């Protein structure tokens, strides 16, 4: 993720994420995030898990740009 625009714009040297998805249903089960934007991404994944959102539903959401949230679709 360190080559993504958000990380380049904020001079992030390292950023990583692993998303756990139930493939048959597309439901988000969890995520591991490393980097300075973890607070923002963790809140988004907590919301996705709490409201049982699928990856398709998250991919069609509009987030403010440029923010770390706008990169969410690239993780899924």
Per-residue pLDDT of 46-75, as tens digits, reads: 988 999 989 889 888 888 887 777 777 777
DSSP 12: -
Estimate to the nearest angstrom the gap between the alpha carbon of 16 and the chain centroid.
Answer: 10
Residue 11 has pLDDT above 80, yes or no: yes
List, in sequence order, the alpha helices (H) in the chain.
5-9, 38-50, 55-59, 72-75
Banded pLDDT at 76 (limits 50, 70, 90): low
Give mean pLDDT, residues 26-42: 85
């Amino acid at each position: 993720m360190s080559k993504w625009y958000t990380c380049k714009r904020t001079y992030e040297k390292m950023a990583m994420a692993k998303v756990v998805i139930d493939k048959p249903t597309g439901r988000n089960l969890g995520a591991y995030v490393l980097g300075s934007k973890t607070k923002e991404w963790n809140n988004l994944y907590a919301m996705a898990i709490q409201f049982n959102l699928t990856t398709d539903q998250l991919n069609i959401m509009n987030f403010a740009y440029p923010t770390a949230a706008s990169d969410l679709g690239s993780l899924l």
